[in-house]
Structure 1
Amino acid sequence: MTVYGATNVDVVVIGAGQAGLSAAYHLRRRGFAPYDGFVVLDADPAPGGAWAHRSPSLRMATVHGFHDLPDFELPAPDPAAPAREVVPGYFAAYEARHALPVVRPVRVTAVRPQLGGRLLVESDAGSWSARALINATGTWTRPFVPHYPGRFAGRQLHYADYRGPEEFAGLRVAVVGGGASAIQVLSEVAAVADTLWVTRRQPVFRDGPFSQEAGRAAVALVEERVRLGLPVRSVVSVTGLGPSVALRRARELDALDRLPMFDRLTEHGVAWGEREEAVDAIVWATGFRPEVGHLAPLGLREPGGGIRLEGTQAAADPRVHLVGYGPSASTIGANRAGRAAVNGIVALLGAPEPALAQRS
């Protein structure tokens, strides 16, 4: 069915990563019919979301946590298997098992208000008119590199473009960042190269698992920023670095002698005041920003620069939910956010009739 040239559905989900697939699963369970009731638009040509773009050197043994999607466990993988193969294969099987209506490749360019209280989702593959929207576009397509004065003549790359340690063999490499991505790079590159580890803050190392109470407190700090409409921070930024295979390897390689953040780049390296360290390459493991530019026509951003949420619902537009954003930007958080967003949409639109759980 079409409305003004756009395919008419109740709900559009943008993105088929962990959060988008979780939302799609719960939409089916609540009775929304595939394609007629809801559709999932994914920019990639194949399943996998951000996992399909990870470094080939990231193995399942060194993945920084992974949680199964609802109603289908990830079969026990070979710890040495590349995550970029295992997880996309799991996502593909999940889409097929639950007959999820994923359309790809579809790159959404804008979401606009439409007459009649609907939302017009525009893309390079046509348009969809929806009563509600779940945005699950994640962050992988927006790598963040901070600006520092000066010009470096060597190679610079973001973690998103890192493909393994081999190309750095015999070089001197600065790894910038204090999260799990930086630890992965150090644990690999320090085995073949001389490394410098540079972070803005003194990293916090945890000796054991994060307690549920501490975990809830950390997530609450991220949620508070979202409620205030401020730019989001990652959950890892407030939980610190827990024990992992990658962290153990980095320790064994003596790669965790952290330096404070440099104040400028030089032609041959990085510098702190009068001190300069020559390097051949800089790997920026400095995180990502949410991919929400296509939502700009809806005017959701607050003066603080972020999108204020009440749970997963955009405070400025109750038809719009963001999952995999802020406190739900983790595999377990994405699962919960997908369910919460669908509950909110059912509360807004009402359940389809008959509202029966559907299984393939």
Structure 2
Amino acid sequence: MTQRTDVVVVGGGQAGLAAGYHLRRLGIEHVILDAQAAPGGAWQHTWDSLGLFSPAQYSSLPGRLMPVQEGELYPDAAHVVDYLADYEKRYELPVRRGVWVSAVHRDGAFLRVQTDGGDWQVRAVISATGTWTRPFLPAVPGRREFTGRQLHTVQYKNPAEFTGQRVIVVGGGNSGAQIAADLAHAGIDLTWVTQRPPHYLADDIDGRALFDAATARRRALDEGRTDTGGVAALGDIVAAPPVRAARDAGLLTAKPMFTQLTATGVRWADGTMAEADAVIWCTGFRPALAPFAALRLRGSRGHIATAGTRAVDEPRLHLLGYGDWTGPASATLIGVGRPARDAAREVAELLRP
């Protein structure tokens, strides 16, 4: 049987909850469909030592400040999961868990959302699926020949599983630096490789400044002024306390990217080789937009062209939380509130008789 509501939000992580908060405030009938069995979005699947870049009060969703975590300036992932679960409960958001959205189709004046629990007929959809379920692995020569273990950021938990092993961490962003630092502090035999020399942000910069930089860039572009460069102009790696400590102790010395994997390790262009038992690919993600393939909206780099959060070629679809192309810093807790508000207001206009 087909169910009906005005709006379906696909994804119940931080972006989906922010969308639900604003839809609820506007009195818009909606449901949030989430494939996860429990609250917390991707935060419930991160590595053990991951923490926020910002203090709790600067890491909050709209309407509810994140409580301070006792003894911690930067809250850990478990604290974020607890906050998201409380947020969902506090605002009585209509989240349905364990529901997998397989496809979204045009259906005349409506959109039809197909799930493993039946279809929904709706007037608008907000996609908040994130990127965590679409890890990216580069096509490096020899990747299939390597006989050791290969894993992505999403599969890493802690250094204990690599005790006594030689580990190569690939990636010069925040996840690469944090996981490399995690392993280095544990005394793991580590080789860290990056495409270019690590570019750290100044030690006093955290998530607050990153949000401000992303917002200033978006404002400049909207007003036709020179691109400020946003967060990328500041650096690639936030010098979070564990990363800073490993760097200052000389434990984080990056090597340039190798040219190929061998059966037992890696080889650089000059012929230098290194043996390895495991390679951890901290090489980023792609937006998880498979349910929207039937709408035929995908453009360059897998993105859907948007005006703000609204899909240019399908005004009944909004995309939220994927990065600057769907709102300044919209993939962050503090940054997703404003584009979620804007998306909800546009949906309200769309629904108006």
**Structure 1-normalised TM-score?**
0.85
Is 1:30 the counterpart of 2:26 in the alignment?
A: yes
Answer yes or no: is the 8 Å Cα contact 1:197–1:255 preserved in 2.
no
* Aligned mate of 1:200, from 175, 181, 195: 195
- CA drift at 1:105: 0.9
SS of equivalent to 2:247: helix
| Counterpart-to-counterpart distance in 1, 2:211 and 2:167 | 37
| Counterpart-to-counterpart distance in 2, 1:172 and 1:237 | 34
Moved more, 5-14 or 300-309: 300-309
Moved more, 12-21 or 82-91: 82-91
What is the aligned partner in structure 2 of residue 71 from structure 1? 63
Answer yes or no: is the 8 Å Cα contact 1:173–1:196 preserved in 2.
yes
- CA drift at 1:236: 6.2
Answer yes or no: is the 8 Å Cα contact 1:132–1:319 preserved in 2.
yes
What is the aligned partner in structure 2 of residue 168 from structure 1? 162
Counterparts of residues 167-246 of structure 1 (less than 5 Å)? 167-191=161-185, 192-207=187-202, 208-209=204-205, 210=209, 214-216=213-215, 239-246=235-242
What is the aligned partner in structure 2 of residue 44 from structure 1? 36
Answer yes or no: is the 8 Å Cα contact 1:270–1:278 preserved in 2.
yes
Moved more, 93-102 or 65-74: 65-74
SS of equivalent to 1:331: coil
- Listed as ranges, the gaps of 5+ residues in structure 2 are 223-229, 325-329
CA displacement, residues 77-104 of structure 1 (integer Å, 9 cap, x when unaligned): 1356983422222111111111110001
What is the aligned partner in structure 2 of residue 356 from structure 1? none
- CA drift at 1:220: 7.4
Is 1:94 the counterpart of 2:91 in the alignment?
A: no
SS of equivalent to 1:95: helix
- CA drift at 1:314: 0.4
Is 1:152 the counterpart of 2:146 in the alignment?
A: yes
SS of equivalent to 2:146: coil
SS of equivalent to 1:332: coil
CA distance change for structure 1 residues 221 and 245 in 2, over 3 Å: closer, same or farther? Answer: farther
- Listed as ranges, the gaps of 5+ residues in structure 1 are 224-233, 352-360
| Counterpart-to-counterpart distance in 1, 2:48 and 2:221 | 30
SS of equivalent to 2:141: coil
What is the aligned partner in structure 1 of residue 286 from structure 2? 289
| Counterpart-to-counterpart distance in 2, 1:119 and 1:263 | 46
| Counterpart-to-counterpart distance in 1, 2:254 and 2:138 | 19
Moved more, 315-324 or 236-245: 236-245
CA displacement, residues 100-151 of structure 1 (integer Å, 9 cap, x when unaligned): 1000110100000113x10000111111111001000000111111111112
| Number of matched pairs | 329
What is the aligned partner in structure 2 of residue 231 from structure 1? none
CA distance change for structure 1 residues 333 and 47 in 2, over 3 Å: closer, same or farther? Answer: same
The sequence identity of aligned pairs, in percent, is 43
SS of equivalent to 1:333: coil
| Counterpart-to-counterpart distance in 1, 2:253 and 2:9 | 44
What is the aligned partner in structure 1 of residue 244 from structure 2? 248
CA distance change for structure 1 residues 249 and 219 in 2, over 3 Å: closer, same or farther? Answer: farther
What is the aligned partner in structure 1 of residue 333 from structure 2? 331
Answer yes or no: is the 8 Å Cα contact 2:287–2:303 preserved in 1.
no
| Counterpart-to-counterpart distance in 1, 2:219 and 2:196 | 21
Residue type of the alignment partner of 1:205: Y
Answer yes or no: is the 8 Å Cα contact 2:184–2:252 preserved in 1.
no
SS of equivalent to 1:119: strand
SS of equivalent to 2:134: coil
Answer yes or no: is the 8 Å Cα contact 2:287–2:302 preserved in 1.
no
- CA drift at 1:75: 1.4
| Counterpart-to-counterpart distance in 2, 1:74 and 1:340 | 22
CA distance change for structure 1 residues 79 and 15 in 2, over 3 Å: closer, same or farther? Answer: farther
* Aligned mate of 1:310, from 292, 307, 312: 307
- CA drift at 1:221: 10
CA displacement, residues 142-182 of structure 1 (integer Å, 9 cap, x when unaligned): 11111111121111111100010111123221111111111
Answer yes or no: is the 8 Å Cα contact 2:169–2:279 preserved in 1.
yes
Answer yes or no: is the 8 Å Cα contact 2:210–2:231 preserved in 1.
no
What is the aligned partner in structure 1 of residue 225 from structure 2? none
| Counterpart-to-counterpart distance in 2, 1:341 and 1:165 | 41
SS of equivalent to 1:88: helix
